[in-house]
Chains A and B, each alone.
Chain A
Amino acid sequence: MSSADRLDRASAKLLIVDARGKVRDVPRSALASLFSRGDLVVANDAATLPASLRGAHVASGEPLEVRLATWVSVGDPTRFVALAFGAGDHRTRTEDRAAPPPLAPGDRLALGPLVAVIERLLGHPRLVALHFLGERASVLGGIARHGRPIQYAHVAEPLALWDVWTRIAAHPVAFEPPSAGFALDWRTLGAWRRRGIGFATLTHAAGISSTGDLALDQRLPFDEPYCIPEGTAAAVNQAKSDGGRIIAIGTTVVRALESAGGTDSRVGAGNGIASGRIGRETRLRVVDAILTGVHQAGESHFELLQAFADDALLSDISVLAMSRGYRTHEFGDAMLIEHKLSRHPEHQELS
């Protein structure tokens, strides 16, 4: 990525909205000095797959791009649900991309060193179940070498894997980066540790953010598998019972923790699927604040923020963010929103 596109870490901004709706903005690097002893920050440590594979539809010879969209079985690199696009590349906006050649079950796709077979169409000409032929090791190697990260029309230079892995990226299971995690670095984690602020991770296989098709976009996010390690569940439950706040780094963490949270607000460890949408009607049981990118009305990410703040406040925040030049894309600035009904009135200041 060129330096013009990459947001300079030092210049990134953070808009803070506390539980009373009070707004202020600070450099994003000020994250290290936020929160209080006993609070717990939870982040998604998924690393991003090079989920875009170029090649050809063997029967027609037509070029196409396949974007892996979600797992059939997490960790098995031979089967995915995928989107197919016709000729063109990421410089065309996803919604303007050509349709793929007509695809049918049994069709073969030649994707660099890989051969994939379409197992099923999934109710839409772009959406298919894909099976890569070969052993796991060689398929994983083929995807690793031939795949490229899903690109964005707003980023001129091609993104490499090192552009889309957060500093904490550990498990390569996400299809697009859990981008709120770009705000974290080891210096910040070290500062939190020294200040008695906990840090834990879960792994959530963040799916694609856009399919380029309105009808398909309505089906987003696809079911996303997550895993909450025992230590993380224990840390969340301990922090909650000690009166600390849970700060989620990104929407994927909110989805996983709220999905794993029982009616008693206790989080269970283990694997799960974050399926339901979170929005205005959702009563948050676990998460007290979210750090996220700057999202606009209409995005599924924005809908999730309605669980944290009412529409009028979100609208004010949007206007404020625009007027102050906040950048909205995956590599942009950040917002920290504390839940309007944060359980701990004595702790209402985030800093």
Chain B
Amino acid sequence: MQTNSDFKGIRVAVTGGTSGLGLALVRRLAAAGARVAFVARSGPAVELIAKETGAHGIVGDIGWKDDIYQIALQISGSLGGLDVLINNASNLGPTPLAPLADTECEDLEQALAVNLLGVFRLTKALFGALAASARTSGAALVINISSDAAVQAYPGWGAYGASKAALRHLTAIWAEEAKAHRIGFLSIDPGDMDTPLHALAVPDADPSTLKRPEHSAGEIVAAMRAALSTRIERLVEVHP
């Protein structure tokens, strides 16, 4: 893990921050000097990771409408604003994976609630904070974690793939609309990683054939660095 501090003072929020890619991102960003808030559903896991990384832990469910604003409030309140939002929390749909004709409507709804609506709601709630950051420093960023299942039609991945395809298009449209406000939107496919989510989807996968989530986190952080290169680093407190 890099221990440089080139993200010193950058305020980043990561959803799904207690396992897999999200956890790798929280660890890496905290180690790089960023001020990190993360969200996850399990109170004990949040507490554990907060203690380990020094990041600000928030208990909440991205797929639950009534949780969105209390999460947004804690993110901008604890970090004093927000420069980067990483929408990483994902729902796989039915587990084990199922053909669409066997997929319960509720499983598709839940995948959409987390992977599409949850991302939309949280990003919308934090759009003002991101725009404020962009006005102050020249750039803010939203990274939405995508998947090759958003593009390829993999049998069995209907709920997940459809929700991630919708997210990918949402991201592309939002990128166009937010350009004028200097908020970048990136859709990043981290690849097949050795994570709890992948294990749920493909229980018999050989872990040695999968990417380490730390590796994908490094790639995402590099993309983040490039996207923020236009920022004017003025780490003036923008909070009264």
Contact = CB atoms under 8 A, between A and B. Distances in A.
A and B held together in a complex: yes
Contacts of B240: 74-75, 171, 173, 203-205, 225-227, 271
Interface of A: 45, 47, 49-50, 74-75, 77, 136-137, 140-141, 144-145, 160-162, 165-173, 186, 189-190, 193, 200-201, 203-205, 225-227, 229-231, 271
A200 B76 contact: no
Contacts of A205: 240
Given A74-B240, A137-B57, A141-B59, A170 B129 contact: yes
A224 B70 CA distance: 24
B97 interface: no
Nearest to A164: B69
Interface in B41-56: 50, 56
Contacts of B58: 141
Nearest to A77: B77
A205 to B, nearest CB: 6
B226 interface: no
A200 B180 CA distance: 14
A165 B77 contact: no
Contact of B70 (A161, A170, A186, A200): A161
Given A141-B58, A144-B70, A162-B125, A171 B76 contact: yes
B166 to A, nearest CB: 21
A80 to B, nearest CB: 13
Given A74-B240, A161-B69, A229-B136, A140 B74 contact: yes
B151 to A, nearest CB: 29
B135 A145 contact: no
A37 B226 CA distance: 33
Contact of A45 (B50, B59, B132, B237): B132
A201 B181 CA distance: 13
A172 B135 contact: no
Instruction: Please indicate which of the listed interface residues B69, B70, B132 has the most CB atoms of chain A within 10 Å of its own CB.
Output: B69
B73 A161 contact: yes
B80 interface: yes
Max count, chain B CB within 10 A of own CB: residue among A170, A190, A201, A203: A170
A137 B131 CA distance: 24
B125 to A, nearest CB: 7
Residue in B78, B80, B125 with the greatest tally of chain A CB atoms within 10 Å: B78
